[in-house]
Chains A and B, each alone.
Chain A
Amino acid sequence: MLYLVKISLLSLKNKISSLKFSEDLKAAFFIFIGINLVLIVYAGSYSLLKYVNSAAVAGPLIANKITALMFLTAFLMTALSAVIVSFSSIYFGKDLKLLLYLPVKTAAIFSFKALNASFYASWMVFAVLMPFLFAFGTVKNAGVWFYVFAPVFAVPFLASASFAGTAFSVIIMKFFPAAKIRNIMFVTGAVFFTALLAVLRLTYSQKLISTEGFALLSQYLSYLDAPTAKVLPSWWYAGSIFGLASGNLSSTLAYFFMLLAGAASMWAVLKIFAKKYFIDGLNEGQAFAASKIKKENYSVSSPFSSLLKKDLKVFFRDSGQWSQILIIASIVLVYLFSMYKLSFETLKMHNVMSLVNCALVWFVATAAALRLSFPLISLEGESFWFLLTVPVGKFKIFTEKILFGTLPVCAVSVILIAVTNYIMSISAPVFIFTVSATVFISALIGCASVSIGSILPKFNYSSIPQIESSLGGLVFMLFSFFVIMVNIFIIMQPVKLFYSGLYSPEVFVKYFILTVLVNLCFSAIVFSAGYNSFVRIEK
């Protein structure tokens, strides 16, 4: 197995040494953004934990509870990632055929692949968890050993989670029909994520901030002090971290050994499952899905609508794509629920919240565009030769992609802003103004997502999230953030006047025209840049 690890390390070394200057720049840009994100997580966590920790009576307990919930979330997220990563890496990895031909024991191949999947499933969670933990240590005035051992203890913690996720994949591959396995896995993943988001948002946060559900304060305090899912490694990790922070050595060691024992047991279970089911699952995985669609339709379509139909069919049949919808739907539902639960007692609150709501809806539009529209060009991937050889002008093809990517984003945004405005009882002029403005802003976001996807495509991908997290995805997010800020600045003026009692239809019309012009200008610029790049794509 060490030889297989060596191959991976050599590949990484060769990849780094063969980077061109432009790729070096790209890598440096990514590292810069990454460091900034880590710093932002640290700053945000520090502010939150410091604020909470300083609250009278229950402050330190709430800080601990938040930390334990954070670990539970990290555990579930890692397990979920491992389900998806292990599935594509262990059963459908591109190097699998080569590895199986090598004179290496199947058990060693499995172990190598499982450890590989664990690394890829957990590194991002680790990167987010560490700044949070360091903020926790700072708030709790932990000693220097806290910062040394907190990352070390995270290794068995995240390993348990990823081994559990991988074991789940092995079982699923054995007992479900191979033809449907890909769909089952993606949907399981999406449902898992949706449930996690909903549970965390709808249950825990409500309980944490409100004592209404508890008859006595002592009940509230004992809820805070009680272990969070104490049979899971997330609580053992929390126990070891709390012990480290408070200098309680025996508690730290006890929980650390539980973590080690948990990781070792999960690895042993995984190996037993693998011994029994890995080869069977592998054989099943190679079987193909032969879904029959019998309808033969000879109705005439124009080349443009023919391409549009093709994109629709591909979208709805590729579970990797439509499972993204479930995730967006969960974000939308949780957002709507949050708005429903908010109460606005003052006019000033209405004013502020109507603007915050616009910004949040446009961020949801950005999230939707990143998942649905941004990957459209990259997803053509190996079939791009087809688009380049068919007798349809590139302008038409690009316009079709823009239309396909923009309409759903517009629809989601307009519905969302209208519903949230209604829930918040926003006054008619502001209601109409924000909904109308959203049509143009979301159209710009949709257009920008496809265009930036064309400027910075990622044709070599193994899963759609890889396209979303590419440099292009990052650039699109930054561009979208900029667009949202500009638009908030514009719509702030008439809304502020309205809530100050200075309503004037002329002002609204003036600012609406300004919003339309600004967004149309930006749309024209990104469309033109995207189209110019599309024309230059060579395959």
Chain B
Amino acid sequence: MDKIISVEVKNLVKKYGNFEAVKDISFDVKKGEIFSFLGPNGAGKTTTVKVLTGLLKPSSGEVSVLGMDVLRGIDKIKSRIGFVPDQPYVYPYLTAFEYMRMIGDIYKVPVEKQQKMIPELFEMFELDGRSGEIIDSFSHGMKQKLVISGVLLHDPEIMFLDEPLVGLDPASARLVKDIFVRLAKSGTTVFMCTHVLDIAQKLSDRICIVNGGRILALDTFENLKKNYASDSDLESVYLGIVGGTGGKQIKMLDGI
């Protein structure tokens, strides 16, 4: 029997004025799947994630998340999803603890659960010594860890992650990867935009490669490898699909 669909996108188009950032794309993501969304800069990845999380309205097409239309049911959807943006901008004058408490109250996480989970999450991400400091004093990586902690606190059914590993130290990146795998096993859907191809290859159930607002390929890593007759790693598959082999361009540097 097919798995339950968590995210369904049909003929999605998103325009900014005359510029079409996303051009008629369709795909679905199943419950408990780790779905990687890859593409070069400006490919339309962030725009797609923003449409899925209700930050942007689609210009046309149908988008449903957890069986609800994003245009009509976004208020209900929001309480069941979590979002980590590409830049972890959070209120700089709140402390890390206050931020987590605010998340807990807004998502109506029971106080007992907050009392248990907030210190645990801080300890896990090594923020426990800094929880009383204002976020303005945090590094990019610390802010990223705080935003991820906030998402984990309210235990969403789908996690939308836009470049979640940028700025994280190796230990934290490893920790985050392990968390994603564990969550996916327990039924949480992970939708991840990333440029870290190695992680996408190791973690993803399926990989979607986009460029110029269109889907160029969507399959499991093994099938992509077969279809694109590529070497062993995702980098070769990706460059074969998107273009930019590296070798030709680097010749331009000859003589420098």
| Residues of A participating in the B interface, judged by any CB pair closer than 8 Å | 288-298, 300-303, 306-307, 309-310, 313-314, 317-318, 381-383, 385-386, 388-393, 538-539
Contact = CB atoms under 8 A, between A and B. Distances in A.
Contacts of B114: 298
Given A298-B111, A314-B93, A389 B55 contact: yes
B107 interface: yes
Interface of B is mostly: mixed
B93 A303 contact: no
B90 A301 contact: no
Interface string B122-150: 00000000011110110000000000000
Contact of B106 (A288, A383, A391): A391
A288 B78 contact: no
Instruction: Pick the most buried of A295, A386, A392: most chain B CB atoms within 10 A of its CB.
Output: A386
B136 A289 contact: yes
B10 interface: no
A383 B79 CA distance: 18
B145 to A, nearest CB: 16
Top 9 closest pairs, chain A to chain B, by CB: A391-B79, A382-B89, A317-B93, A288-B137, A391-B78, A306-B105, A303-B106, A314-B93, A290-B137
Interface in B55-109: 55-57, 75-76, 78-79, 81, 83, 85, 87, 89-91, 93-95, 97-98, 101-102, 105-108
B232 interface: no
B115 interface: yes
10 contacts: A288-B137, A289-B137, A293-B97, A295-B132, A310-B91, A389-B83, A390-B78, A390-B106, A390-B107, A391-B107
B48 interface: no
A296 B78 contact: no
A538 B93 contact: no
Contact of A294 (B53, B76, B81, B132): B132
B54 interface: yes
B17 to A, nearest CB: 9
A467 B97 CA distance: 30
B178 to A, nearest CB: 25
Nearest to A179: B137
A409 B220 CA distance: 59
Given A385-B83, A385-B85, A539-B55, A318 B102 contact: no
Given A385-B85, A391-B75, A393-B75, A291 B106 contact: no
Given A389-B53, A538-B50, 4 more contacts: A289-B137, A297-B101, A389-B83, A539-B55
A298 B97 CA distance: 10
Given A317-B134, A538-B56, A383 B91 contact: yes
A389 B93 contact: no
Nearest to B76: A391
B105 A386 contact: no
